[in-house]
């Protein structure tokens, strides 16, 4: 058992999830510490290099949106060995989020339930923090943007794109009233077109998950509308909408281990249905090299994770990457399975 599982996690889990998150954030902001630990924690092996929408990342294991909503500790996340990190979701204006309780841990399932809503300090704060990153760091940063109005999202896109490698537009948070307007393919197409017109960085659209045929019939047209309007890729997917009375608003999004099989199924489905020409970032329930490997084989270009990091701590990205290298060696391969895009 590692230091995190034996000591840090039991201590952090004595606090409310949002308080524990703040402690974790302070720790990850201690940049010199993580730079010094970088050789121990991260793995630099050329065989792990991964290209997503034309951008080269040192490995396929990325941080999902929401972990660093206000772009405060992205360099720390890169130093501990993630190949790339996604800041945000950033909205134009600061937002307080939903009423509490709004995050619940489900340790038995290695899962979280959250109904944070778009909680954050807004565009000005994110922009000024991203400005402080070095060029080297920026090459490995994505930023997630959203809002309920095309103009607001376009402003986030215009101001943040010079500061990052790629952007992701989130139209899939289950916790934000007003976002469903972009579940209409025409509206989503108009949004993506507006962003593509001012685009000089790759743009991905983060979709909601689908389980039933009815949901699939809603999400596939969203995926198609995004790609036809010029998006470079898709992030599949966001949390699973779930009703739960322990949350003040009565419903939220489930994340973590219970999502993995759905993620695998959706990635294979999307690749089969939509072709191999777009970047596909898999997200949901990923926490081990075997997950990453199977997703790459199923058609993912790279992966993002959040909840497994809360349960496994800062050793996770290095461990996953080292295990990917071992897997390549035992399969006699010099590169990772190629998912396309
Ligand atoms: C507390 C919390 C906050 C999140 N906030 C965001 C967010 O701001 N934007 C977004 O696109 N996804 C957000 N997500 C969803 C994650 O990016 C990811 O899609 C989801 O958690 C599934 O991945 P995981 O199982 O690895 O956590 C959030 C997830 C959690 C648990």
Confidence of residue 339 (pLDDT cuts 50, 70, 90): low
pLDDT higher than threshold 70 for residue 240: yes
Q: Whose CA is nearest to atom 6 of ligand 1?
A: 66
**Residue 84 — left, alpha, or beta (φ > 0 → left; ψ -120 to 50 → alpha)?**
beta
pLDDT of 310 > 80? The answer is yes
Q: What percent of the chain has pLDDT over 70?
A: 98
Catalytic site positions: 173
Mean pLDDT lowest among 7-11, 34-38, 307-311: 34-38
d(CA 284, ligand 1 centre) in Å: 8
Ligand 1 atom nearest the C-alpha of 111 is: 25
Confidence band for 30, pLDDT divided at 50, 70 and 90: confident
Confidence band (pLDDT; 50, 70, 90) for 111? very high
Contact yes or no for 296/336 (Cβ under 8 A):
yes
84 pLDDT more than 80: yes
The 10s digit of each residue's pLDDT in 163-205 is: 999 999 999 877 776 778 999 999 999 999 999 999 999 999 9
Q: What's the confidence (pLDDT) of residue 42?
A: 74
Choosing from 62, 65, 172, 254 the residue with most ligand 1 atoms within 8 A of its CB, the one to mutate for a pocket test is: 65
Confidence band of 340 (pLDDT split at 50, 70, 90): low
* pLDDT, the chain, mean: 94
Cis upstream peptide for 101 (omega within 30°): yes
The residue to mutate among 72, 74, 173, 239, having the most atoms of ligand 1 within 8 angstroms of its beta carbon, is 239
Instruction: Kindly indicate the confidence band of residue 35, based on its pLDDT and cuts at 50, 70 and 90.
Output: confident
Q: Is 259 in the pocket of ligand 1 (CB under 6 A)?
A: yes
Task: Say whether pLDDT at 341 is over 70.
Answer: no
Enter the tokens of residue 289: 């090299």
Number of Cβ within a 10 Å radius of residue 4: 16
Q: pLDDT of 54-68, one tens digit each?
A: 999 999 999 999 999
Question: Which runs of E-coded beta strand occur in the chain?
Answer: 50-52, 55-57, 61-68, 84-90, 95-96, 103-106, 111-114, 119-120, 141-145, 166-170, 203-207, 233-236, 240-243, 251-256, 279-283, 302-305
Model confidence at 101, pLDDT cuts 50, 70, 90, reads very high
> 44 near 82, Cβ under 8 Å?
no
- Expressed in angstroms and rounded, the spacing between residue 239 Cα and the centre of ligand 1 is 6
146 lines ligand 1 (CB under 6 A): no
The residue among 97, 94, 160 whose CA lies nearest residue 128 is 160
Integer Rg of the chain from CA = 18
Tell me, using a 6 A CB cutoff, whether residue 171 lines ligand 1: no
Q: How far does the centroid of ligand 1 lie from the alpha carbon of residue 33, in Å?
A: 26
For the stretch 316-332, pLDDT in tens is 999 999 999 999 999 99
Annotate 66-129 with DSSP letters as a single string. EEETTSSSHHHHHHTT-SEEEEEEE-SS-EE-SPSP-EEEEGGGTEEEE---SEE--HHHHHHH
Which pair of structure tokens corresponds to residue 82? 């993630």
Percentage of the residues of the chain whose pLDDT score is greater than 90: 86
Pairing of strands 111-114, 103-106: antiparallel
Residue 54's CB is within 10 A of a number of other CB atoms, namely 13
- Quickly tell me which residue has 């949350």 as its tokens: 247
Q: Determine the residue of 210, 255, 263, 287 to mutate for testing ligand 1's pocket, defined as the one with the most ligand atoms within 8 A of the Cβ atom.
A: 255
Q: Where are the domains of the chain?
A: 3-330
- The per-residue b/e assignment along 69-86, b for 16 or more CB within 10 angstroms, e otherwise, is bbbbbbbbbbbbbbbbbb
- For 132, counting Cβ atoms within 10 Å of its Cβ (0-12 exposed, 13-18 middle, 19+ buried), the class is exposed
Q: How much distance in Å is there from the Cα of 263 to the middle of ligand 1? A: 14
User: What CATH number does the domain located at 3-330 have?
Assistant: 3.20.20.70
Q: State in Å: Cα 334 to ligand 1 middle.
A: 32
Q: How many CA atoms lie within 13 A of 226 on its CB side?
A: 30
């Amino acid at each position: 058992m590692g230091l995190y599982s034996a000591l840090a996690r039991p201590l952090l889990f004595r606090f409310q999830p949002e308080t524990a998150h703040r402690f974790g954030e302070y720790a990850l902001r201690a940049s010199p510490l993580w730079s010094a630990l970088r050789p121990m924690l991260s793995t630099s092996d050329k065989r792990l290099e991964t290209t997503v929408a034309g951008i080269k990342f040192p490995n396929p294991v990325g941080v999902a949106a929401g972990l660093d909503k206000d772009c405060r500790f992205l360099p720390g996340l890169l130093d501990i060995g993630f190949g790339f990190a996604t800041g945000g979701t950033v909205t134009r204006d600061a937002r307080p989020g939903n009423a509490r309780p709004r995050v619940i841990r489900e340790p038995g399932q290695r899962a979280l339930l959250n109904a944070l809503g778009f909680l954050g300090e807004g565009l000005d704060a994110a922009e000024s923090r991203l400005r402080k990153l070095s060029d080297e760091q920026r090459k490995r940063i994505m930023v997630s943007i959203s809002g309920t109005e095309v103009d607001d999202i376009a402003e986030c896109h215009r101001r943040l794109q010079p500061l990052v490698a790629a952007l992701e537009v989130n139209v899939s948070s289950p916790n934000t009233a007003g976002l469903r307007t972009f579940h209409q393919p025409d509206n989503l197409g108009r949004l993506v077109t507006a962003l593509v017109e001012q685009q000089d960085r790759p743009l991905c659209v983060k979709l909601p998950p689908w389980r039933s045929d009815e949901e699939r019939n809603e999400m596939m047209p969203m995926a198609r509308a995004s790609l036809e309007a010029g998006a470079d890729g898709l992030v599949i997917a966001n949390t699973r909408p779930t009703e739960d009375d322990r949350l003040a608003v009565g419903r939220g999004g489930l994340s973590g281990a219970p999502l993995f099989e759905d993620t695998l199924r959706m990635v294979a489905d999307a690749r089969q249905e939509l072709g191999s020409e777009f970047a596909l970032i898999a997200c949901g329930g990923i926490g081990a090299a075997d997950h990453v490997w199977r997703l790459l084989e199923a058609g993912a270009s790279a992966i993002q994770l959040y909840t497994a990091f809360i349960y496994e701590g800062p050793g996770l990205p290095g461990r996953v990457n080292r295990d990917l290298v071992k897997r390549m060696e035992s399969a006699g391969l010099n590169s990772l399975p190629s998912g396309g895009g």
